[in-house]
Amino acid sequence: MKKMIMLASLVAMMALSVNAEQKIAVLDLALVIENDPAMAETQASVREKITAYEKQQEEMLGVREEMKKELEEIIKKTESKVISDVAKKALEDQARAKIQEIKSYENDIKDGASLAQKRIADQTTRAQKKILDKIKAVSADYAKKNGYDFVIPTTIDNATGMFIVLYANEKYDITSEIIALINQGVEK
- 3-class DSSP state of 151: strand
Please check the confidence at residue 13 and state whether its pLDDT lies above 50.
no
What tens digit of pLDDT does each residue of 68-77 get? 999 999 999 8
Q: pLDDT-based confidence at 9, cuts 50/70/90?
A: very low
Summarised one tens digit per residue, pLDDT across range 98-118 is 999 999 999 999 998 899 999
User: What's the pLDDT tens digit per position in 166-185?
Assistant: 788 899 999 999 999 998 86
Best CA proximity match to 50, nearest among 104, 121, 109, 101: 121
Query: In this model, does residue 88 exceed pLDDT 50?
Result: yes
Q: What are the structural domain ranges in the chain?
A: 21-183
What's the predicted TM-score (pTM) here? 0.64
In angstroms, the CA 37 to CA 135 distance is 12
> C-alpha angle with apex 157: 151 to 159, nearest 5 degrees?
140
Least confident range of 17-26, 100-109, 142-151 = 17-26
- Rounded to whole angstroms, how far apart are CA atoms 126 and 47? 16
